[in-house]
Structure 1
Amino acid sequence: MKSIGLGIALTALAGAVQAADMGAVDEPIKLAINEWTGQHVTTHVAGEMLEAAGYKVEYVTAGMMNQFQALADGDIHATLEIWSSNVSDEYAKKISEGTVVEIGDLGLNAREGIAYPAHVADLCPGLPAWEALRDCAQVFATAETIPMGRLVDYPADWGTPGADRMTGFDLPIKAVPAGSEGALIAELRASTERKSPLLIVFWQPHWAMSAYDLKFVDLPVGNEDCFNDPAWGPNPNAVNDCDFAPSRIFKASWSGFAEKWPAAYEILSNYQLSVDAQQPMMGKIDVDGGSVEDVVAAWMAENEASWRPVVDAATK
């Protein structure tokens, strides 16, 4: 289902939320900045809302996988775009301990998977069916992987979903981690310009999905049986022989956040962002060269009716 806009999602909530105490307005609220542009957009929109409410905000660079200890310790106060498909065991541990708390879904309609630029279908007949990869794996081979094909996986800090699938389907393809989101984009750009073969782990929302005409490989629907029972799926000897689980994207905070900044907690709990809002901002940053700060500030100015009711409901 397509995500609804920020204002539509939250105006209804705004009337039901009573104004909360502002709390420690003299102390900055520290928001985690992870490794991808969409998360930067998400976080800066939230930060601008907090500043509009009267809070001080600091942005703290933190790896997606290793941010949860800092969150539990109160060194970071909130992280606003956690993808369920590659969340770490450390997160579950902190939730269980009660040192980190979830503060609601973000509202993005997301998908992850094994993808390829549309022109690659001509180089590997049979796509998007995953079985085609078994027959044309060598099309994707490089000097570092030959005789196996190459899959460009997520950066190592994001987990190994691509490698997990190649093992699960027993495909003669080696997953090679990208160095960063920028490295993933560089691969897509080069493949599109040269019409060269490329298999890559990618996600939406992302401006590159349309810019490079990306298609997802058709894999069996991901579910818990696939991830835990080798007998499930086309490979009876392995788990992960299916697509990514449908991604839930959510927010979390330090357990002491609500007590220290009650109104800010209300704002972040009710904050949502739609694909229709986030994806164009990503394009203005990564394609047009705008800064996160300038692009988000412009969006905030043009869409005040969407986010202002959430701030007002928590503070007035």
Structure 2
Amino acid sequence: MKPSTAITASAPSRIDLAGGTLDIWPISLLVPDAVTVNLAIELRAEVTLEPMGERKLIARSRDRGKQATRRLPLRREDAHGPLGLLIRLVAAFEPERGLKLTSCAAAPAGAGLGGSSTLAMATGAALARWTGRRLAPRDLLQRVMNVETVELGVPTGNQDYLAAQHGGLSAYQHGPDGTRRKPIEIPRGLSERLVLAYTGQPRHSGFSNWEMYRRFVEGERVTVRRMESIARIARELQDALTDGDLDAAGKLIGEEGRLRYSLAPSVATDALRHADRAARKAGALGVKVCGAGGGGCLVAFAAAGRTESVARAIEATGASLLPVKIARRGLRVTAP
């Protein structure tokens, strides 16, 4: 395909409700009945590709205020700098024509909402259409995840890419044949009970996840037991959400949050703990960090009628509130 007009793709970010880190291979296989539950939200990443006459790439991130220019064909050493992931993705699809790539991510960088993976999925989908590659959804996800793994230099899980691809509320069940998605009907009133806040301290998910990963694969007994407990909580959360039992769901999210703090010293920060305590005192049934922790966002599940109080309490700690609008649709591509 040689597009003469722009191609645009977008994908939602996610709130991981329970079972994060269990989506990283081989933890996903070694923890029995591992499940990850997440909710896609309309903090979308959008990518637009436009044709250029010159045989080069111009990559521009509107939200980060960064731009990079590279000659085509791309070389391995070209993938450096703050837009290195975008450059690696373009290289993986080997475009023949020059292009301008413009990205914009609604989720704050380093927020723990899977923003970089969401952006990568949107970029990969746009590039597949641009180059005429007919990739099955599973193959697109695998290619994008592999490219980001190289960029991070540490193992990555698959839940961020899956949420970006599918949207909605989902339980991802990990097993010997890979990951199977089980959609969950969104319970009435779910989004009204969630408070999402950004502490203002960005984090690097790869580093926190790597610490948990290392402890697990080295057989540290306490970490293994805690991972197994997180898997149990995720299964119970899947059941609670399926049954529409929001109070039970909120308490399970809080149980997962307390366990996650204990997985590695890098998970909790003073800002996260301050906001956590304030939210619980104001009426949150449960609070947990988003993603691997170490900064970024936290999500609180308020008791019925306490959402505004919880939101005010968290905001008073200096955190910024983010909107929780459920993304019922995942990856979108618009092209001629």
TM-score by length of 1: 0.24
Structure of higher CA gyration radius:
1
TM-score by length of 2: 0.23
In proportion to residue count, which structure has more strand? Answer: 2
- State the structure with bigger RCO (CA 8 A, min sep 6), 1 or 2: 1
